[in-house]
Structure 1
Amino acid sequence: MTMMNKAMSLTGLGIAGLLAAPVLAEEPIATATFVCEADKSIVAKFYPDEVALTLKDGRSLALPQVISGSGARYANADESVVFWNKGNTAFLTEGSDDNITYKDCIAD
């Protein structure tokens, strides 16, 4: 394989990688800061099909929207992290549905 072919192969892989990566819209549809129990907070940036969360403990999460019976529900692939939002309230579970790590959150 010539140097030119190798460079083109690597460039092609780079472009394919970029196209496969999830991309957030430039501007969120809405942004909300939720103040939660135990002096915790969540900043949520809502996009058409996902939410980007910044937690008070410094973690950042991007979760796709999933089916919900009521309100908006966002979860990672194995649903070990789930963010629920309805109106001006929200909560976050991690691990199991019983492990609510950010609870009683109300939009500020």
Structure 2
Amino acid sequence: VQVARGYLNKEELTKEKFIVSPFKEGERIYKTGDLARWLPDGNIEYIGRKDDQVKIRGYRIELGEIENVLSSLPGVTQCCVLAKEDTVGSKRLVGYVVPEGDFDKE
């Protein structure tokens, strides 16, 4: 059973995310961005995400949005943003840029 039946006052988003269940007639399921597969023994194996979304300290973050902002900065020709674990296992965002010419880190 879902935690909710939909998004309050957001009918289109509800239709997009709460889809007809392919497993049980007459029921709905929540369509996440997670990828998984059923193993022969009946267990479900988590593979990853369909998008570049990560969760850090309870916040869902789209890495592509941060990369778009970095790419728009003058002097940045390429960039990449990753969610990396530090020495104690906490995730943090790390951005890498390729500068055009000399790079003023200020």
Output the TM-score relative to the length of structure 1. 0.25
Rg larger in structure? 2
Name the structure, 1 or 2, with higher relative contact order (CA <8 Å, separation 6+).
1
Pick the structure with more strand per residue. 1
Output the TM-score relative to the length of structure 2. 0.25
Pick the structure with more helix per residue. 1
